[in-house]
């Protein structure tokens, strides 16, 4: 059964509207029950949490508008209502702390604004591929029950500067009109050599108008920009964000948590985590996730009753070989 602390945590997270915390505590109660031999109750509770987590939830007083972008915007933005939650992400403690801070300030923004403060809302996420930057934008939207708008930068950058600025304006108008998480993925495309046009002056102007819109943006939306080429970003860009967050490749502990997370519903044998750490070194969260899936599928198809160290090591080595290709 739940301990007194767990009951208090449940009530507190309910009062704060913190679903992630609430379900996390419920799962702790389930784990405790399982350890205490109440496996049936534990399973029922886990199933219940799984089912409830999948339900679309609405923030009280903030009905989600119908926001499928129309007209010209439809070529620039795509919208989704992610089911990803912050709890699905495995992060370094300091990265999680910084993101939790964003969530808290967003949830309590009315109180902050009433005293003349603005919540954290413009984030720049930097890190190698597959470390969870895009997933973070989804999880922020998921935890805050906001729509996620993905900005299509390729649709934005055109040969005609006048047009690009007009399109950028449409996007930034949307930020004010519909509160959401707006993800500018691979934002280096706006300021780097990957921009489709070859005219340097042209790129400069695109970047300048982006910076200008960014500066003028007073909306309630969250603006998340992500890149794995920070060196390609203009220095002026960094100043415009409330937080610049680095996403490192996983440490051994994080790698272990990624595997455990992905294989939460699968039986794990006795795993030699030291061997796993060696095999996973240098791989991203995404690669480790894929290797875990591979090992689990192998085990299921071979009718093994658990995923083994050897199975995981083979799958991780295979990923290593691929990433050095």
Return residues touching ligand ATP (CB under 6 A): 89-91, 127, 129-135, 226, 228, 258, 285-286, 289
CB of 311 to ligand ATP, least distance (A): 19
Q: For 229-276, give the secondary structure using H, E and C.
A: CHHHCCHHHHHCCCEEEECCCCCHHHHHHHHHHHCCCCCECCCCHHHH
CB of 192 to ligand ATP, least distance (A): 14
Closer by beta carbon to ligand ATP, 129 or else 282: 129
Give the one entry of Mg ion, ligand ATP, none that residue 130 binds, where binding means its C-beta sits below a cut-off of 5 to 8 angstroms depending on kind.
ligand ATP
Q: Which of residues 123-142 bind Mg ion (CB under 5 A)?
A: 133-134
Interhelix angle 93-107/133-144, nearest 10 degrees: 30
Give the one entry of ligand ATP, Mg ion, none that residue 179 binds, where binding means its C-beta sits below a cut-off of 5 to 8 angstroms depending on kind.
none
Closer by beta carbon to ligand ATP, 19 or else 88: 88
CB 280 within 8 A of CB 316: yes
Closer by beta carbon to Mg ion, 143 or else 188: 188
> In this structure, what token pair is assigned to residue 3?
């301990």
Interhelix angle 273-280/252-262, nearest 10 degrees: 100
Closer by beta carbon to ligand ATP, 205 or else 260: 260
CB of 261 to ligand ATP, least distance (A): 6
Cα distance between residue 296 and residue 264, in whole Å: 11
Pairing of strands 122-126, 243-246: parallel
CB neighbours of residue 215 within 10 Å: 11
CB of 176 to ligand ATP, least distance (A): 26
Among left, alpha and beta (phi > 0; psi -120 to 50; other), residue 199 is: beta
Q: Which residue is nearest to ligand ATP (CB)?
A: 132
Closer by beta carbon to ligand ATP, 89 or else 120: 89
Examine residue 284 and tell whether it contacts Mg ion (CB under 5 A): no
Closer by beta carbon to ligand ATP, 197 or else 228: 228
- C-alpha Rg value of the chain to the nearest Å: 22
CB of 186 to Mg ion, least distance (A): 7
The residues of the shown chain that bind Mg ion, judged by CB under 5 A, are 133-134
């Amino acid at each position: 059964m739940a301990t007194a602390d767990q009951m208090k945590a449940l009530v507190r997270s309910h009062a704060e509207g913190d679903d992630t915390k609430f379900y996390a505590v419920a799962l702790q109660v389930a784990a405790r029950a399982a350890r205490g031999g109440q496996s049936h109750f534990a399973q029922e509770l886990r199933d219940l949490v799984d089912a409830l987590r999948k339900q679309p939830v609405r923030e009280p007083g903030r009905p989600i508008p119908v926001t499928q972008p129309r007209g010209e915007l439809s070529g620039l933005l795509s919208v989704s209502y992610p089911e990803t939650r912050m709890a699905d992400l495995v992060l370094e403690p300091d990265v999680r702390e910084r993101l939790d801070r964003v969530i808290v300030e967003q949830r309590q923004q009315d109180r902050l604004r009433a005293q003349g403060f603005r919540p954290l809302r413009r984030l720049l996420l930097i890190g190698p591929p597959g470390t969870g930057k895009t997933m973070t934008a989804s999880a922020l939207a998921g935890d805050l029950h906001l729509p996620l708008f993905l900005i299509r930068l390729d649709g934005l950058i055109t040969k005609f500067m006048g047009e690009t600025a007009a399109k950028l304006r449409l996007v930034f108008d949307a930020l004010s009109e519909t509160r959401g998480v707006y993800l500018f993925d691979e934002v280096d495309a706006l300021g780097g050599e990957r921009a489709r046009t070859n005219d340097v002056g042209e790129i400069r102007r695109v970047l300048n108008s982006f910076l200008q819109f960014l500066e003028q943006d007073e909306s309630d939306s969250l603006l998340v920009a992500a890149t794995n080429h920070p060196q390609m970003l203009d220095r002026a860009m960094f100043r415009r964000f409330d937080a610049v967050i680095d996403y490192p490749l996983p440490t051994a502990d994080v790698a272990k948590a990624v595997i455990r997370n992905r294989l939460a519903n699968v039986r794990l044998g006795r795993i030699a985590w030291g061997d796993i750490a060696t095999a996973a070194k240098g791989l991203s969260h995404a690669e480790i996730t894929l290797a875990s899936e591979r090992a689990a599928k192998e085990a299921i198809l071979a009718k093994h009753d658990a995923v083994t160290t050897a199975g995981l090591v083979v799958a991780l080595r295979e990923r290593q070989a691929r990433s050095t290709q």
